[in-house]
Amino acid sequence: MRNTLALACALTLGACATSPTLPPRTTTAETNLHRSSDFVVLNAGKGDTPATLALRYLGDAEKYWVIEDFNNVKSFAPGQEVVIPLRAFNPVGVYAGGYQTVPILCYHRFGSDKSKMVVSPDDFTQQMEYLAQHDYRVIRITDLIEFLQGKRTLPKRAVVVTLDDGYKSAYQHAFPTLRRLGFPATIFVYSDYVGAREGLSWKEMQEMVASGLVDIQPHSKTHSNLGFAQPGEDEATYQQRIQVETQVPLYDISKNLNIPIHTFAYPYGDTNKDVIDELKQRDYRLAVTVQPGSNAAFAYPYMLQRSMVFGDQDLDTFAKHLGAFQDTDLR
Amino acid sequence: MIAARVQRWAFILSLGLSACALQPNYNDDTSAEATPFATKSAKGMTAAHEKLALSDAEQGHYADALLQWKILHALHPDATRYEVHIRQTEEHIERLATQRQRAGNAALDKGDYPTARHELLAALALDPDRTDVLEALRRIEYDRVWRIQLAKLDKLKVTEDRKTTSTGEQERSYFELGTLMFREGDYAGAVREIQKYLNSYPGDLQAKKLISDSYAKLSIQQRQQGLLHNALANVEQAKRFSTEDAATNRKAEQELRRTLADEYYEKGLRALRNDLKLAIESLEKALEYNPLHTKARAKLAEAQRMQKRLGEISK
């Protein structure tokens, strides 16, 4: 108790001591706008929305979610107080009540004859609409690069959509829904499958990339498992296979689509240190497995977890993949 | 735990005392609410933010409290009390975060990962800018996902001992293993595993395509080995499971049938000289595989005539 009182007195005295030098702040009485180096605080005017305020004060209307998330609202009444953070205060998303995690959904094939590995177009549409209706924000997989460095705040309830293998059904069934909802997605293709009977063509991929929503990234050359040497494969041959499987699709995609390569999807989700070293040498920034789960800011960038979405799952099961916050008392 | 509670209350007490000491003239509006974002007067908003800051600190949410003080400082840049609260809260956060980080590192040294993870997360919740804490947490996470990966690879390598926890997982593993075997050129193994999967999901087009392709590849291998009957049986299976384009398998089947018919025809021709019964059987087989084999049909008619004549002579 004596220590407590001593500490309280010390803090109180400290409060009376000379204030430290803080950045200068401005107040604009006419607009009831208050600005510091950290925040803009204002009363919303008629017609102000998170997007218009984001454009005005953050320089980008697409950052509307920064204002929505900080104020915990979707719209403002005229006169309502709005606080706009001017910098990322918690880019790692770790709070006293838990921490942010980003689920990465993994689809494969789409078709009307749904089964475990084939999701029906109707189910996919329903799942994407579920994301929209429940305030999930579908982000690009590249947004994770800086999040995982602790440099970038992501929206609350951020989620990434990925489609593996490069089936033509991604273009036929998934792309129209993604385009309608404005959701970005990454398709991981293995280059030997491009142009095959049920595989995407370069032309289809070019069209999807041109939409600005779809990113194409490597999923190896032949879809062979890179996690271990095949029976009868000696070490030198295995190392050569790792090189071919990670380099050839990089070259093919760059050449045919003229887009940067940043993320690798391991065939069957399997990897090891040799494969990861090769990816690092090739300047891949991220790599994804199929270990189920969501990713915190401290996730290992070359072994990001993904949750497979199967055709026989109902919407409740789908919703369970969407863990965007891990509750835990960190006080 | 007790020490943490004492520290929290000491800190709250300090904020309360300093607030009293430096209270500006906002006393004409006391309708403070916990949520500061509804439409209200500037004074009301200030009171609401103050209440929120104290409430956050009381609950141990110091990083959130710090934000509230900073918002208040933006609202009242000339009120030094908020600068004091900011400094006090930052110092308190620094002290607590350092304690939690040390506790986390100590647990890490002992190999107590759950405690280390919890303490390091607590440090980061207090001070999200601690990059060394983020890195330490990443090392723990790396170890965790890596152990899962190694366990999976071990399981894949010892496929005979595969044991899964539920029917769905087991069937999925059949499919994954079948796909893996197909990639590795073990087509018979792929057929076996995918068939197990199809027993549960007979309508899965992807699995049907994979088993069809496996049968077709197996057929090609067997044909190269001269095992034409097996090759034909497998290409027929490939055709049966074809989901869309069966033309390739149909063509392969027809070629195999023609080849087999030719082989039986040659065998029949050779037998025609000394074993009429074998010759007729072989030529019938040739026509069974290729009913349009006109030479075999003609030779069969010839052999049958010879057999009839021999029968008449023996009478």
Residue B121 has its nearest CB partner, among A27, A268, A330, at A330
Annotate A223-272 with DSSP letters as a single string: ----SSPPTT--HHHHHHHHHHHHHHHHHHHHHHH-----EEE-GGG---
Q: What is the pLDDT of residues A95-154, one digit of tens each?
A: 999 999 999 999 999 998 777 789 999 999 999 999 999 999 999 999 999 999 999 999
A197 pLDDT higher than 90: no
Apex CA A59: angle with CA A177 and CA B124, to 5°? 85
What ipTM was assigned to the predicted interfaces of this complex?
Answer: 0.85
pLDDT of residue B26: 35
Alpha carbon of residue B38 to chain centroid: 44
Q: What is the pLDDT of residues B41-97, one digit of tens each?
A: 778 889 999 999 999 999 999 999 999 999 999 999 999 999 999 999 999 999 999
CB A322 within 8 A of CB A103: yes
Confidence of residue B100 (pLDDT cuts 50, 70, 90): very high
Q: Residue B12: CB partners within 8 Å, gap ≥ 6?
A: B54, B57, B58
How far is the C-alpha of A264 from the C-alpha of A261, rounded, in Å?
A: 8
A89 pLDDT higher than 90: yes
Q: Looking at the complex, does the CB of residue A326 fall below 8 Å from at least one CB of chain B? A: no
CB A303 within 8 A of CB B149: yes
Q: What is the pLDDT of residues A17-74, one digit of tens each?
A: 333 333 344 433 335 789 999 999 999 988 899 999 999 999 999 999 999 999 999 9
Q: Looking at the complex, does the CB of residue A4 fall below 8 Å from at least one CB of chain B? A: yes
Q: What is the pLDDT of residues B170-226, one digit of tens each?
A: 677 788 888 887 877 788 888 988 888 888 777 777 888 889 989 988 998 888 888
Annotate B188-201 with DSSP letters as a single string: HHHHHHHHHHHHH-
Q: Is B80 within 8 Å of A4 when comparing Cβ atoms?
A: no
3-class DSSP assignment, residue A187: strand
Residue with more model confidence, A163 or A197: A163
pLDDT of residue B29: 38
- Look at strands A94-95 and A109-110 and give their pairing: unpaired
Mutate to test the interface with A, among B6, B45, B138 (most CBs of A within 10 A): B138
Confidence of residue B296 (pLDDT cuts 50, 70, 90): very high
Name chain B contacts of A83, Cβ cutoff 8 Å: 37, 71
B28 pLDDT higher than 50: no
Mutate to test the interface with A, among B33, B95, B121, B248 (most CBs of A within 10 A): B121
Mutate to test the interface with B, among A31, A33, A117, A308 (most CBs of B within 10 A): A117
Q: Looking at the complex, does the CB of residue A251 fall below 8 Å from at least one CB of chain B? A: no
Question: Torsion-angle region of residue A113: left (phi > 0), alpha (psi -120 to 50) or beta?
Answer: beta
Q: Looking at the complex, does the CB of residue A77 fall below 8 Å from at least one CB of chain B? A: yes
Cβ neighbours, 10 Å, residue A15? 23
Q: Is A11 within 8 Å of B203 when comparing Cβ atoms?
A: no
Q: At what angle do helices A235-257 and A273-281 cross, to 10 degrees?
A: 40
Residue with more model confidence, B27 or A154: A154
**Average pLDDT score over residue span A194-206:** 92
Across chain B, mean pLDDT equals 82
Across chain A, mean pLDDT equals 89
3-class DSSP assignment, residue A219: coil
pLDDT of residue A296: 98
B38 pLDDT higher than 60: no
Q: Looking at the complex, does the CB of residue A36 fall below 8 Å from at least one CB of chain B? A: yes
Name chain A contacts of B60, Cβ cutoff 8 Å: 96, 331
**Average pLDDT score over residue span A304-331:** 94
How far is the C-alpha of B159 from the C-alpha of B150, rounded, in Å?
A: 14
Show the tokens assigned to A198: 């049920």
pLDDT of residue A326: 95
Residue with more model confidence, A288 or B255: A288
Percentage of the residues of chain B whose pLDDT score is greater than 90: 44
Q: Is B149 within 8 Å of A94 when comparing Cβ atoms?
A: no
How far is the C-alpha of A270 from the C-alpha of A91, rounded, in Å?
A: 30
Among the listed ranges A25-39, A210-224, A260-274, A292-306, which one has the minimum average pLDDT value?
A25-39
**Length of chain A, in residues:** 331
pLDDT of residue B252: 87
Q: What are phi and psi of B34, to 5 degrees?
A: -65, -30
Q: Residue B287: CB partners within 8 Å, gap ≥ 6?
A: B261, B293, B296, B297, B300
Q: How many CA atoms lie within 13 A of B10 on its CB side?
A: 21
pLDDT of residue A243: 96
Name residues 153-192 of chain A within 8 A of B (Cβ): none
CB B153 within 8 A of CB A272: yes
How far is the C-alpha of A98 from the C-alpha of A110, rounded, in Å?
A: 36
State the Cα torsion B167-B170-B171-B172 to the nearest 10°: 120
